């Protein structure tokens, strides 16, 4: 759906005065806070301004009527945690950065009509769905909590939308793994205010063919490497990916060619061709097992791994996770894409995706989130953490 919100715009969010004040004044209104967070542009690499403001907001929350917060910072990643001595700890995490702006700032509070909505009130703008609504959910809940039934760590991090080596959560997991310790983690990625457990793993490989160069007028003197790639593509086209049940959730795998490259010139038979392949594998497999599968699948061809990330089991068989499912009163679904829940899983912390917003609108020019979803998710998170 492509939407021009200008005709039905109710309000435009424009930062005014001190940014911490600007955010703090909206802590009792998750939708309003979402819009204000979106108004602070924070494309990956430009998170310091919003991080400084959120850090100050957390300092004020910790000084308020709720529990004290220990504030820790590594670059543009902040961890704010209670130290109440509870036997269990919940980690709630969300990233502060967005993909580049696409004529969708400043953000607006407006109404949309379309296939998914009937006159629905939304926050429209870059980051609304992915994932400043999830950040707003967390900040509003942190401010509202008085007597949480478990200790809580609030994590806000940088560089999620770019190369994994820059990811703030990954950096903290390497530098300060104890900061992320807990018994259960909730990542505020957009999931329609429902639970998506764990995530598939992902691995990318280059599958290469070789040949012999020749003038294309005398092709019989060469061996065409691009033609040889037909066998690679044929195997992919004929393969039927399966569905794997992990901890009660069905993870559908996928195996796809995502690019192909080769060729020398318009009159030369090429001697090299590379097919890039992406395999999304169920979290019951390791990345090493996924690599082994691909090497066997492409027997006879050169296979080079270019990127790999482990999946994450949902851990829904644990009581602490089941308590969260019971709070929602909804059946969880599997996360078929890869998210940072995998980083928590690597630390031994079971994790789920739970946040407002339809992930189908993430990164789109008409990115938006329904006001009702932001409000509902904030209520759910507070109910869970207060044991209602």
CB atoms within 10 A of CB 318: 14
Is the CB of residue 377 less than 8 Å from the CB of residue 353? no
Which range, of 49-53, 242-246, 329-333, averages the lowest pLDDT?
329-333
pLDDT in tens, 293-305: 999 999 999 999 9
Whether the per-residue pLDDT at 5 is higher than 50: the answer is no
160 catalytic, yes or no?
yes
Query: How long a stretch of residues is the chain?
Result: 388
Q: Which of 32, 47, 76, 160 is catalytic?
A: 160
Query: Going by DSSP bridges, is the β-strand pair 249-252/243-246 parallel, antiparallel, or unpaired?
Result: antiparallel
**Which pLDDT value is given to residue 113?**
75
Query: Going by DSSP bridges, is the β-strand pair 351-354/195-197 parallel, antiparallel, or unpaired?
Result: antiparallel
Task: Mention every residue, 6+ apart, whose C-beta is less than 8 A from residue 319.
Answer: none
Interhelix angle 133-144/48-62, rounded to 10 degrees, is: 20
Task: Mention every residue, 6+ apart, whose C-beta is less than 8 A from residue 347.
Answer: 173, 177, 180, 181
Instruction: Count how many Cα atoms sit within 13 Å of the Cα of residue 98 in the half-sphere of its side chain.
Output: 29
Nearest to 341 by CA among 96, 129, 132, 173: 173
Whether the per-residue pLDDT at 93 is higher than 60: the answer is yes
| Residue 375 pLDDT grade (very low, low, confident, very high; cuts 50, 70, 90) | very high
Q: Which of 97, 340, 366, 373 is catalytic?
A: 97
Both structure tokens of 186: 């909730």
Whether the per-residue pLDDT at 6 is higher than 80: the answer is no
More confident residue, 350 or 355: 355
* Pairwise CA distance, residues 30 & 135, whole Å: 9
* Pairwise CA distance, residues 159 & 301, whole Å: 35
DSSP-derived secondary structure for 330-355: S--EE--S--THHHHHHTT--EEEE-
Is the CB of residue 244 less than 8 Å from the CB of residue 251? yes
| Residue 215 pLDDT grade (very low, low, confident, very high; cuts 50, 70, 90) | very high
Chain-centroid distance of CA 205 in Å reads 22
**Which pLDDT value is given to residue 282?**
95
Place of tokens 């009163």: 329
Whether the per-residue pLDDT at 328 is higher than 50: the answer is yes
pTM above 0.75, yes or no: yes
* Pairwise CA distance, residues 308 & 200, whole Å: 11
β-sheet bridge partners, residue 243 = 252
């Amino acid at each position: 759906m492509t939407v021009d919100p200008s005709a039905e715009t109710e309000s435009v969010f424009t930062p005014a005065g001190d940014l911490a004040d600007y955010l703090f004044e909206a802590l009792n209104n998750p939708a309003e806070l979402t819009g204000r967070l979106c108004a602070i542009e924070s494309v990956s690499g430009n998170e310091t301004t919003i991080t400084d403001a959120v850090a100050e907001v957390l300092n004020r929350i910790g000084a308020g009527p709720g529990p004290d917060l220990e504030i820790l910072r590594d670059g543009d990643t902040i961890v704010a945690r209670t130290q109440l001595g509870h036997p269990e700890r919940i980690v709630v995490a969300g990233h502060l950065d967005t993909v580049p702006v696409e004529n969708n700032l400043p953000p607006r509070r407006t109404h949309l009509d379309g296939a998914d909505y009937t006159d629905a009130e939304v926050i429209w703008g870059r980051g609304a769905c992915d994932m400043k609504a999830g950040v707003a959910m967390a900040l509003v809940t942190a401010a509202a909590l008085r007597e949480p039934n478990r200790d809580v760590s609030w994590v806000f991090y940088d560089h999620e939308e770019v190369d994994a080596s820059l990811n703030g959560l990954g950096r903290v997991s390497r530098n300060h793994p104890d900061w992320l310790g807990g018994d259960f983690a909730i990542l505020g990625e957009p999931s329609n205010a429902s639970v998506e457990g764990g995530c598939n793993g992902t691995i990318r490989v280059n599958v290469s063919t070789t040949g012999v160069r020749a003038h294309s007028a005398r092709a019989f003197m060469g061996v065409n490497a691009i033609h040889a790639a037909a066998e690679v593509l044929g195997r992919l086209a004929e393969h039927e990916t399966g569905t794997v049940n992990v901890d009660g959730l069905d993870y559908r795998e996928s195996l796809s060619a995502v690019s192909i490259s080769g060729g020398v010139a318009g009159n030369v038979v090429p001697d090299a061709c590379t097919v890039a392949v992406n395999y999304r594998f169920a979290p019951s497999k390791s990345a090493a097992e996924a690599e082994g599968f691909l090497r066997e699948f492409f027997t006879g061809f050169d296979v080079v791994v270019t990127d790999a990330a482990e999946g994450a089991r949902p851990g829904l068989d644990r009581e602490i996770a089941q308590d969260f499912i019971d709070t929602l009163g909804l059946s969880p679904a599997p996360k078929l894409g890869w998210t940072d829940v995998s980083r928590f899983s690597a630390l031994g912390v079971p994790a789920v995706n739970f946040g407002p917003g339809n992930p189908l609108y993430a990164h789109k020019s008409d990115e938006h989130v329904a006001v009702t979803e932001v409000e509902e998710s904030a209520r759910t998170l507070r109910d869970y953490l207060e044991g209602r």
